[in-house]
Amino acid sequence: MNQALPRRVLIVDNYVSAAEALAEACSDHHDVRFVGGGSAAMEMALSWRPRVMVLDIDMPAPNGLDVATMIRETSHLDPIMLIAVTGRDAAFDREEALAHGFDSYLTKPVDVDRLLTLIASAE
């Protein structure tokens, strides 16, 4: 696994237990917080300024695609690396996520080592 400087990582999933599990898996290496929905994600992004956001796509409005679009439209938040996490693995879904501004796309169950490598690669 790639060891790098700790990053601020915000994990967003409407299934709080899933967000909590990912946060726990990443917390040995990074400063991690988690929230349970898109509105809370935007509030936390604006106040805490994470370097990486791990966003579930399939959430009640605003969903992960909506949040990614809002993040990319907020100029002072541009440096945030966005990682989509979803149970969907169709090529169309992957392309749609990338079109909304995601940098990477992971399917559930999440490969934690792959996630940690992506987080460590954040500039």
Asked whether residue 1 is domain-assigned, the answer is no
Mapping DSSP onto H, E and C, the string for 57-99 reads CCCCCCCHHHHHHHHHHCHHHCCCEEEEEECCCCHHHHHHHHH
Structural domain containing residue 36: 8-120
Asked whether residue 110 is domain-assigned, the answer is yes
**C-alpha separations of 45 from 58, 77, 113 in Å:** 19, 8, 24
Report the CATH number at residue 42: 3.40.50.2300
Q: Total domain count for the chain?
A: 1
Asked whether residue 3 is domain-assigned, the answer is no
> Over its length of 123 residues, how does the chain's per-residue pLDDT go in tens digits?
445 689 999 999 999 999 999 999 999 999 999 999 999 999 999 999 999 999 999 999 999 999 999 999 998 876 899 999 998 878 878 999 999 999 999 999 999 999 999 999 997
Asked whether residue 51 is domain-assigned, the answer is yes
Asked whether residue 19 is domain-assigned, the answer is yes
Q: What is the pLDDT of residues 93-121, one digit of tens each?
A: 899 999 999 999 999 999 999 999 999 99
Tally Cβ neighbours within 10 Å of residue 41: 28
- pTM, full prediction: 0.93
